[in-house]
Structures are given as structure tokens and as C-alpha cells.
Amino acid sequence: MTGSAVRPGKPGIGLRLRLVRGRLGQLFYRVGEAAEYDILRAARATGELFRFIGRITYRIFAPIFAATAAGLRELAEDLAAPFRRVRVGFGHIRMLVADERANGVGHAAAMALRYLASGVHRYAYLGKNLLYYLLPLAAGGVFVFTVHTMLSADYALAVECGGTVVGYVEQESVYEDAAKMVESQIIYTGNEEQWSLDPKFTLSMVNQSELSDTQQLVDTILENSGEEIIEAAGLYVDDVFYGATTETQALTEAIETIKTPYAQQYPNAEIQFVQDVQLREGLYLDESVEAYSDIEKLFTEPVEGQRSYVVQDGDTPWTIALANNITVDELYAMNPELDNGNYMMPGMTLVVGESVSFLQVKAVQTEVVEQSIPYQTITTEDDTLRKGQTKVTQEGVEGLQQVTYQVTYVDGQEESRVQVGEPVVLSEPVDKLVSEGTYVSTEGLNRVPSSGGMIFPIGPGFTYQSRGFWGVYSHNGLDLCAAYGTPIYAAASGVVNYAGQTAGGYGIHVRIDHGGGVQTLYGHCSGLAVSNGQYVTQGQVIAYVGSTGNSTGNHCHFEVIVNGTRVNPAPYIGYYG
């Protein structure tokens, strides 16, 4: 039988897997063995390092520990030796006493004392060594006790006046305040000599209960002053002393009575004095105490009376207010007849200062008031109306709002009014719509005599009307524009009852009384042609167009006043613009 040759081939999959596992296992084994060996070596090296450190530490600190231990043993020996020697000595004495009893008690006691004395003499150095340790400890204890006592104690300045300690204060400012109070109390002694204080301060250890406040110090200083003193209440206003009285209750009630009318007038207000008013009870020099009636007079007599000023040529409200240290608004408030500066003539007497009481009372309260909201006037051009002619197409309506104020009254007069928060709108305003003419006629303007008997007050040179009569509280006349210097005629005959100038308002102006309660006014003139009290006829030149007073351009502000009320002038002069 012939055999066939076996050809080597590739191993099977199972054989390959066994080979891989065998090789990986051998690799992991070798790696594990190497890691284990490295760890072991590291542990041995670490142990050697700690042993080396231990040897070095022992060599450095062993002598120190040994010396310390020896010192402690020696200290213990020195401290215990006297007691040990005493114990042994007493044992020997007991033995000696027992041996000598046969010879008698007296003999044995004498022998024991001699033995004790010889032992004390022989071992006296041991007691001395003990003192060497105990004395520093005792000194340290005394030092700690002293420091603790000193730090926990309270220190203050003892105040000495005239050789007597009058109190203890934490700082000199307490004494300084007291000295000022004392000096203020002795101002009214009637003596010309000045009573001076010459204090001395020394540091002292005291209890908190011994400290004096300012008032206590004042009382003690006065008690030791050698002067006659009395217990009373002093009145101070803005820290100024006005006198003292023994009727403290009456003075207190009188001061509160000043506030009573204002508390009734302003029931919801905070009532207080403008000044800082204090009653300080204490000891006062007898000369400083006044009769209660003298102090009460201060409350009824004004500090400053009413002041007045006579208007001079060239004066204006602003110069008068500045010269008298008041505002223009205050000047107008005290003099309503000025009409905000429109009627101020030389020779007038104006009030420039109200009387001021000794104690002014301030009332501060919250007030809620309803105020109107002004409407806006919107003007549009209208070429169907002649230039200068206006037409209201929609009347304006004011709105309404609630405004909260914090109001301060001083002696019943309003001092300030500060708004608090935002107003609450109750109704919105409605705009006023006005059409303004732009058409210019080639035939000129219509200026015919009117049924009211007045003529047009502007001569040749009149151009147009810039503003008409919009109401008493908005615009109460006609603004008739013309070139500077254009003549102004009297609209009707009458007597000139004013011809002059004010710093604001109408400026240079003329007012004519036509009788029957009718007057006319011509404002913002550049010059005058008549004077006060002069009779003028209709058409007579009385002034010239200008821009004085509150004006922004050349024009004549023309008004008709009937029984004190300003009315629309247009029907009176037949001007239909």
C-alpha cells in the first residue's frame, strides 16, 4: 500500500486561539511579576527613608529630651528633698524618743529638739532651693493679678475747680459743654466781674456710677461756686439763655399755649416751633433767676415789627425786593394792590417785612387740592379769513386733577408748598382750536365808526391784529400791530387817570376814564403825549406804538373796561378785522 505524502498546511482556528491565549498569559504574568517587584522595591526604599529620618531626628532631639528629663528630675528632687528629709528626721526623732523614754520624758524631749535643730541647720540649703523656685512663681502671680486689676478698672478725668473735685468725666468735651452752660447761666448776674473757671484734670480710677453727665457737672460746679444758687428752669432758644424761673410748670404751660391756636387751625398738622426751644431744669445763680412775668413778656412782644418802604422814581419790584432781602413773589404777596407790578407809582408805601414773634410756630400738613389743567390752543391758518382775523372753531375746556402737597405754615402764613407724588388726573383738557386769517384785501381794512361811540385807536401804519380778545383770564384785549412810533388816538373823550410806566406788565401805558363806568387802556407804548389828570378829546394823540413791558414786538394792547370788568373791545371800535 503506497502512502501519500502529507503536505504541511495552515493551523486551524482553534489551534490559533490557544496559541494567542498562551502568549497573552505569559505576557501578563511577566508584566505582573515586574510590577510586583517594583512595588516591593519602592516599599523597601520608603522604609529606609523613614528609618534615616528617624535616626537624624533622634540624634538632634535626644540630647534635648535627655537634658529636659534630667532637669525635671532634678527639679522634682529639689522640691521633694526637704519633705523627704523632714520625714526621715521625724522617724529618727521617734526612735530617739523611744530609746530615751527610760531616762524620762523631759530628757527625751530635749534630745528631740536638739536633733531637730541640728537637722534644720544641716539641711537649711534645701529650703533655700525651694524658695528659689517658689518666689518667681509667686512674683509671676502677683504680676498677673496686678495687670488684670489695672486693665479691668475704669479710668476717667477728675475735674477739679477751686481746689475741689466736682466730678469725673470720660473726656474733656463733657466739661467744656458744662462750662458753656455755666457761663450762659451767669451772664445775667448784674456783676461786671467775669466769673471764670480754671479747671485741672487728673487721671483717676473710678466706677462707672461715679461718672458725671453735663447737667450733673453744671449743678456740682454751681454748688461749689460759693455763689447763691437756686433750683429753677432755664429758657433756652437756639441754645441762647434768656433767663430762669422757679415757676417751671407755669412756663411749660405758657410755651405749650402758644401752639394751641395753630393746633386748632391745622388739626391734622405736625405743630412745632421754628426755633429749638428747651427748658433745662437745674441749679442757677440767684442773679440769673428772673420774675416769671418778665420771661412771659418775651412771648407776647414781637422780635421785629412790620417794615415799610416808600417807592422812589426809578424803582422796580426787583430792586425793591433785593434791597429788602425778600423775593419779588413775597413783595407781591404782601402788597396785592401792586397787581404783579402793573400799578406801582412813586410815593406808594409798600410793606417789605412782616412782624416776627419771639417764638414762631410751624405747622406742617398734607393737603389734597383740585387744580385745573390748562388746555392747549392750536392755531391753524385759514385763507378764507382776512389777515389779523381769528375764529374759534372749538372752545377749549380745562381738565381737572388732584394734587397732593406738603404745606408748611409759619405763624399762620404759608412758607412753602412742596408737591408729593404725581397728580391724579380726574378729567383730561380739551384743546382750543383757532383759525387765523391770512387773506389780505386790496381795499384795506374795515374801520367804520361803531355804535359804541369809539373810534379805531391806531392811526396810519396799522398792519394787522396779532391777538384778539380770548377771555378775561387768557387775553383780555386786542393786540393791534403797527410800526414803531405810530400815533395812538383816544378812542373816546375822557380824563387820563394814569399815564406812566411799570417795569413789567403794560410798560408805558395810558388809562382814560370816559365816565359811566367805562375806561380804555393803551399798553406797551414807546412814549406818552398826555399826563395824569388831563382831559382829552376823541381822536387826540395820547401816545405812540412801542414794545415796552411784557412785549415781544411793536403793538398797542387795547382794552375796554366796563365797571371794572374787561370786555371784548371789537364791538366798541367797530373793528371787524
Q: How would DSSP label each residue in 415-426? A: EEEEE-S--EEE
Domain boundaries, the chain: 29-152, 307-353, 362-432, 444-573
Q: How many other β-carbons are positioned within 10 Å of the β-carbon of residue 529? A: 17
Q: What is the pLDDT of residue 5?
A: 39
pTM over 0.75: no
CATH number of 362-432: 2.20.230.10
**468-477 b/e (C-beta count within 10 Å ≥ 16 → b):** bbbeeeeebb
Helix residue ranges per DSSP H, 324-455: 328-334
Strands 555-562 and 565-567: antiparallel
CATH number of 444-573: 2.70.70.10
> Residue type for 30, please?
R
Q: Quick check: 524 and 555 in contact, CB under 8 A?
A: yes
Q: How many other β-carbons are positioned within 10 Å of the β-carbon of residue 330? A: 16
> Residue type for 69, please?
A
**pLDDT at residue 311 greater than cutoff 80:** yes
Structural fold of domain 307-353: Membrane-bound Lytic Murein Transglycosylase D; Chain A (3.10.350)
Q: Which of 9-23, 272-286, 351-365, 527-541 has the highest mean pLDDT?
A: 527-541
Q: Of 496, 481, 493, 457, which is closest to residue 551 (Cα–Cα)?
A: 481
**CA 338 to chain CA centroid, nearest Å:** 38
80-to-94, 119, 127, 129 alpha-carbon distances in Å: 21, 16, 10, 11
Q: How many other β-carbons are positioned within 10 Å of the β-carbon of residue 521? A: 20
356-374 pLDDT, tens digit each: 788 889 999 999 999 999 9
Please tell me the distance from the alpha carbon of residue 344 to that of residue 102, in angstroms, as a whole number. 144
DSSP conformation class of 209: G
Q: Quick check: 320 and 331 in contact, CB under 8 A?
A: yes
Q: How many other β-carbons are positioned within 10 Å of the β-carbon of residue 158? A: 18
74-110 pLDDT, tens digit each: 766 666 666 666 666 666 666 665 665 556 666 666 6
Q: Of 175, 171, 174, which is closest to residue 156 (Cα–Cα)?
A: 171
Residues 6+ apart with CB under 8 A from 448: 574
Q: What is the pLDDT of residue 202?
A: 72
Q: Is 46 exposed, middle or buried (0-12, 13-18, 19+ CB in 10 A)?
A: exposed
Q: What is the pLDDT of residue 291?
A: 87
* Average predicted confidence (pLDDT) for the chain: 77
